């Protein structure tokens, strides 16, 4: 089975065209090599998927006949993604909460109070 179709079947991508685009951008690696969307996948292959700033690592158990339900995905792959990858994503979410876009104007009264509280805690 093609790598783009496999990633779509095991629900890593919502559409097959998104999986194909990720392959073309070099976000998909099989056994350490960047691959084209037409690369065949076999059981025991190790796949690395870069999606949403997380490097997912999975091992192919079996090839699904077609797209499978979310509960059945674990039959066809083993997810070996380290926990640290998800922790880094959580930190990224917290950093985005306090970011103000350039040109949005003066801080609101609530923003100013939050900034003052932040400086008071550090002193």
Helix (H, G, I), strand (E, B) or coil at 101: coil
> How do residues 64-117 score in pLDDT, each as one tens digit?
999 999 999 999 999 998 888 888 777 777 666 566 666 677 888 888 898 888
Give the pTM: 0.71
Q: What average pLDDT does the segment 49-76 reach?
A: 91
pLDDT of residue 97: 58
Residue 54: which residues within 8 A CB-CB, separation 6 or more? 81, 85, 86, 88, 89
Asked if residues 30 and 39 have their Cβ atoms less than 8 Å apart, the reply is: yes
pLDDT-based confidence at 52, cuts 50/70/90? Answer: confident
Helix (H, G, I), strand (E, B) or coil at 83: helix
pLDDT of residue 100: 62
Residue 64: which residues within 8 A CB-CB, separation 6 or more? 1, 6, 9, 10, 75, 76
């Amino acid at each position: 089975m093609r790598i783009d179709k496999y990633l779509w079947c095991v629900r890593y991508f919502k559409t097959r065209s998104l999986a194909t685009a990720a392959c073309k951008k070099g976000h998909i690696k099989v056994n350490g090599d960047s691959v084209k969307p037409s690369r065949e996948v076999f059981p025991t292959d190790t796949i690395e998927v870069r999606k949403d700033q997380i490097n997912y690592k999975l091992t192919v158990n079996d090839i699904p006949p077609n797209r499978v339900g979310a509960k059945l995905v674990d039959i066809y792959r083993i997810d070996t993604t380290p926990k640290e990858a998800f922790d880094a994503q959580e930190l990224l979410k917290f950093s985005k909460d306090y970011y103000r876009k350039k040109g949005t104007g003066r801080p609101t009264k609530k923003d100013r109070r939050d900034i003052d509280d932040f400086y008071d805690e550090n002193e």
